[in-house]
Structure 1
Amino acid sequence: MASELEHRGLPGKVVVTGGSSGIGLAVAAFFLEAGAHVGIVGRDPSRLEAAAEGLRAVGPDRVGTACADVGDGARIGGAIDALAQDMGGIDLLVAAAGIEGEMGASCEEVSESSFRDVLDTNVLGTFLAVRHALPHLKRARNGNVVIVGSDSGFVAVPGMLAYNAAKGALVQLTRALAVELFDAHGIRVNSVCPSIVDTPMARRGLGVDSFEDAPYPVQDPEDIAWTVGYLASRHSRAINGVNLLSDFGYTGRSSFPA
């Protein structure tokens, strides 16, 4: 009888950046529950270990950790190499690490350092993770990358300048990587772009303790994990270069005031 991984066409060796919280942690749990080996990368040692402890309850012998800031090329490279060695390779990289920056700040109020930090983590960090995972993905049978983007790459609101800019860059980075890596190595690259997801970062950025009474639909991290699984499955082998909006159709709505 085929395993769940085989039945669903899911990769068996997965690295998740930003894996110690929010969407990244939900993605790690999703693949562990399906039977995969998972390595999570985070930059806070205590939060990383707390996340790993919870994940080991699901797959005690299939969880690896590496502490690194994705914006530091040497450290993220070492982290990915170490996890790949422990797992015997990498089939899937999920780039979920991200920060929100100065939410609510106007253009005149956003500091240069804060704007740079958002780009360094969300954009440069994604690029560096892909670049360092690439030697391992090239050796995989069905290597692929899923980037966690945002509907903020397509629409904008005041007070999210750096975040909007970074997520917009990930939209085109997804396309550019997909074209280059598929043609050269058969590696697929896609992104999932959700609207509001109930994560610690979203609560912090929006200044709320709960989304229970929110006047708009809110997703759970597990919803996004399922979408990552769909994009990563070999059954989705023709899906490449897609920035998949997960926003209840809100970006499809007309601006006509009727």
Structure 2
Amino acid sequence: MMRLKSKRVVVTGGSSGIGRAVCELFAREGAELVIGDIDDVGGAQTMASIDRDGGKASFRKTDISNEDDVRLLVEFAEGELGGIDIVMNNAAAFVFGKVEDVTRADWDKVMGVNVIGSANVVRFALPHLKKSNAGAVVNMASVSSFVAAPAFVPYNASKGALLQLTRSLAMDLAADGIRVNCVCPGAIYTPATEKHFEFTGQDRGEFFEQEANESFLKRFGTPEEVAFAALFLASDEASFITGAHLVVDGGATV
């Protein structure tokens, strides 16, 4: 349907998992992409996949917790795309633990990427979004934004803050015609799932069976299923939706 035809999109965290699926889908739907990620090897793989499908994407190695990196990413996007219509904040730090085990460095990392980094991407992209006639921001939040999990204090707190950041930005940027929404995935199988599994120390079979059985559909979701939700919120089909969160969890939080 080419729902993002000629749209100029910045995607953070596009080197693997959900981020890669978002980049591939957006490119197939006609978007021109600039991808920012700390993983330049994965970034090259994402670009190669898009190129094979005839899409257009550029990559810049970026740590979004570094303000200068974010500024340079946006400047790079302006040079490559000539402007920015959509920001897709997907980059995330996965830091788990109980409050007594979490260090200041842990807090700085998880909040620096998941909240402050995402806010700074919007901040630096804002002059370009204001010039667009279809400005949109999509943040990748989580069901962890509103459902607590054992020993998930830093991650839960950061994703809760990202959900509220989404609502606050939606209010403040509406006057500029910029919509801001977020996607809240549940159990989606990605490389981050492996990190979660390693953290729990559970038996592998038990862990994956337990996670899958928490949803009505009794399975993990796929990155592509999350990407379609992000596509909807980024597209003009969601032109009267802002400040919303779209849950993609197979019914687990119902």
TM above 0.5, yes or no, is yes
Larger CA deviation: 42-51 vs 230-239:
42-51
CA contact (8 A) 2:24 2:49 kept: no
Secondary structure, aligned partner of 2:35: strand
- Counterpart AA for 1:189: V
After TM superposition, give the deviation of residue 24 of structure 1 in Å: 1.0
Q: Percent identity?
A: 36
Larger CA deviation: 198-207 vs 88-97:
198-207
After TM superposition, give the deviation of residue 108 of structure 1 in Å: 1.3
Unaligned runs of at least 5 residues, structure 2: none
CA contact (8 A) 2:4 2:26 kept: no
Superposed CA offset, 1:60-108 (max 9, x none): 5x1111111001111111112212221121111100000111x3x3221
The 5 Å alignment of 1:207-218 reads: 207=198, 213=209, 214-216=212-214, 217-218=219-220
**Does residue 165 of the first structure (1) align with residue 157 of the second (2)?**
yes
Unaligned runs of at least 5 residues, structure 1: 253-258
CA contact (8 A) 1:192 1:227 kept: yes
The 5 Å alignment of 1:50-89 reads: 50-59=45-54, 62-89=56-83
d(CA) in 1 for partners of 2:253, 2:46:
33
Superposed CA offset, 1:201-235 (max 9, x none): 12222228788754343111100110011111112
**Does residue 40 of the first structure (1) align with residue 40 of the second (2)?**
no
CA contact (8 A) 2:86 2:137 kept: yes
After TM superposition, give the deviation of residue 54 of structure 1 in Å: 2.3
Superposed CA offset, 1:177-218 (max 9, x none): 0010112x1000000011011110122222287887543431
Partner residue of 1:27? 22
CA contact (8 A) 2:136 2:180 kept: yes
d(CA) in 2 for partners of 1:19, 1:84:
18
State the superposition RMSD in angstroms. Answer: 1.8
d(CA) in 2 for partners of 1:150, 1:112:
23
**TM-score with structure 1 length normalisation?**
0.88
- Counterpart AA for 1:134: L
Partner residue of 2:235? 233
Partner residue of 1:151? 143
d(CA) in 2 for partners of 1:138, 1:37:
18
- Counterpart AA for 1:31: F
Distance 1:109 1:9, change over 3 A: closer
CA contact (8 A) 1:10 1:233 kept: no
Superposed CA offset, 1:116-149 (max 9, x none): 2101010011001111111111111101000000
Secondary structure, aligned partner of 1:108: helix
CA contact (8 A) 1:40 1:66 kept: yes
The 5 Å alignment of 1:61-140 reads: 62-101=56-95, 103=96, 105-140=97-132
Partner residue of 1:49? 44
d(CA) in 2 for partners of 1:142, 1:230:
13
Secondary structure, aligned partner of 2:60: strand
- Counterpart AA for 2:23: A
d(CA) in 1 for partners of 2:204, 2:37:
24
CA contact (8 A) 2:179 2:242 kept: yes
After TM superposition, give the deviation of residue 250 of structure 1 in Å: 2.5
d(CA) in 2 for partners of 1:20, 1:70:
14
- Counterpart AA for 2:234: A
Superposed CA offset, 1:142-177 (max 9, x none): 010000000001001111110000000011100000
